[in-house]
Amino acid sequence: MRSFEQWAKEATDPEIAAGKPEALPGLRVLELSPGHFGGMVAASVLAEFGAEVIKVEAPGGDPARSYAPEGIAIAGTGLPFLSEARNRKFVTLSLEDEEGARIFRRLAAASDVVVETEGPARMDSLGLGYQALSRENPALIYLTLTTYGSFGPDAGRQVKDSDLLCQALSGVPHVTGDPEENGPGEEFQVPTKTGNWHGWFAEGLWGAFGVLAALMHREATGKGQMVDVAGADAMMKFVDYNITWMHTAGRERRRTGKFDPAVFPYTYIRCRDGHTFIAAYNDEAFESLMHIIGRPELAKDPRFRTGPDRTRIENEKALHAILEEWSGLRTADEILREIEEYTSKKSGHGAAVVTGRVNRPLETLSESNWWDRGCFSRVADPVYGNLLLAAPPWKMSGTPPRIRSVCRPQGADNEEVYATLLGMTGRDLSSLRARGIL
């Protein structure tokens, strides 16, 4: 019998995904997410699994195309949009125009899923709310993504959903970063957001999850439904045990920086070439780590003998300094090698010494592991050139996800989509174009 690892690679390697069937073929998704990265993520996930996603942009292009950190854009489209525009068809349509809104209704009637980020008030004012669209297509699954959601006392708040709002309300910044020691401190001793758009990303992922759950219900009953995701709720769900701790003890999670209230060491430490993660928090693993750093006597030091001893804040500080005396003289790779050499001879709890370099993005890109695993893809497009994308994270043996395209200009698929779905002729399209509707 082949080794499991060999078998698993042969069964799930993304290299061979293109020859396999897809999970969601024939599922048509209409995406209306102007300026909204979370809506793009939700649609991308469905598209990676094989859904046909039609992205509707205003005739001038989606405002998100102009998002351009450091001003970097390719053919007028910035990197955030390019990194999340995969596997779509691109049509233009002015919803401000009554005829445009009517065309959107016809597209929705021919679709399985609508993804929208404009919110119920605006969609209703355009005649494109869930109630209107579902009357014409009762099997429609209608995903709406907004900061506060479609119902509840704050649902009417006038905000434009953004990663930052989702993050702030989620509670993630509240527990991230360095605490103040005595009153307002340094500029960095504040609630800290994640560097990436994780709020938007979580919002989109939950949206895709909701659509897939609704699809299960539709298979059983034939009924569509509305799926309401609040961006604030999305990443909130990831803040560990915040609500149960409040309920049971009246306590909430707070920022602890590099220290940890429950387990130590479980922290980043400085090393010769940057920083690395180190964890060895059960007694046996801690003893292993003290052997590895050449200080076996510290396992019996009264400050560090038990878990509760090690998690006293003054002892965490002392231990952190001791670890950095050792790690400061070594590179992250040397630390990994020393730890693996020691723990490979151990089993059970004593082997639970865990490390990993705090990679800068270019360091992650330089490690062959991620390329072997198919985590990154280079995709060429005649307009945008050869671009690097993060690939779908799922390796699947039967119906693997895949990247089929990186991005297209707005309206690139107008002819195909409007002709095949709505039976429009070339003359219809010219007329709509002339009136600024396409």
Part of the chain binding another protein (CB under 8 A), chosen from 90-98, 167-175, 415-423, 427-435: 167-175
CB of 416 to another protein, least distance (A): 25
CB closer to another protein, 111 vs 147: 147
CB closer to another protein, 342 vs 433: 342
Burial of 314 (0-12, 13-18, 19+ CB in 10 A): exposed
Q: Kindly write down the DSSP assignment for every residue of 150-184, as one continuous string.
A: SSSTTTT------HHHHHHHHTTGGGSSPPPSSSS
Part of the chain binding another protein (CB under 8 A), chosen from 93-101, 316-324, 350-358, 421-429: 350-358
Map the footprint of another protein across residues 221-260, applying CB under 8 A.
Answer: 221, 223-230, 232-234, 236-249, 251-258
Contact 399, 384 (CB under 8 A): no
CB atoms within 10 A of CB 430: 11
Contact 177, 247 (CB under 8 A): no
CB closer to another protein, 67 vs 110: 67
CB closer to another protein, 182 vs 244: 244
Is residue 127 at the binding interface for another protein, with CB under 8 A as the rule?
Answer: no
Contacts of 48 (CB under 8 A, 6+ apart): 86, 87, 392, 401, 402, 403
Map the footprint of another protein across residues 407-436, applying CB under 8 A.
Answer: none
Is residue 323 at the binding interface for another protein, with CB under 8 A as the rule?
Answer: no
Map the footprint of another protein across residues 280-299, applying CB under 8 A.
Answer: none
Is residue 306 at the binding interface for another protein, with CB under 8 A as the rule?
Answer: no
Q: Is 73 helix (H, G, I), strand (E, B) or coil?
A: strand
Which of 389, 384, 388 has its CA nearest to residue 407?
Answer: 384
Handedness of CA 287, 290, 291, 295 (dihedral sign): negative
Which of 399, 333, 338 has its CA nearest to residue 366?
Answer: 333
CB of 125 to another protein, least distance (A): 8
CB of 256 to another protein, least distance (A): 7
Q: Kindly write down the DSSP assignment for every residue of 226-254, as one continuous string.
A: EEEEEHHHHHHTTSTTHHHHHHHHS----
* Of 59, 83, 127, 334, the one binding another protein by CB under 8 A: 83
CB closer to another protein, 79 vs 318: 79
* Of 331, 359, 405, 431, the one binding another protein by CB under 8 A: 359
Is residue 124 at the binding interface for another protein, with CB under 8 A as the rule?
Answer: yes
Is residue 82 at the binding interface for another protein, with CB under 8 A as the rule?
Answer: yes
* Of 267, 288, 410, 414, the one binding another protein by CB under 8 A: 267
Which of 83, 115, 111, 393 has its CA nearest to residue 229?
Answer: 115
Is residue 304 at the binding interface for another protein, with CB under 8 A as the rule?
Answer: no
Is residue 438 at the binding interface for another protein, with CB under 8 A as the rule?
Answer: no
CB of 380 to another protein, least distance (A): 13
Radius of gyration of the chain (CA): 26
CA angle, corner 45, sides to 32 and 201, nearest 5? 80
**# residues near another protein by CB under 8 A:** 178
CB of 337 to another protein, least distance (A): 12
Q: How far apart are CA 339 and CA 38, in angstroms?
A: 40
Is residue 382 at the binding interface for another protein, with CB under 8 A as the rule?
Answer: no
CB closer to another protein, 208 vs 432: 208
Contact 55, 375 (CB under 8 A): no
* Of 29, 101, 391, 438, the one binding another protein by CB under 8 A: 391
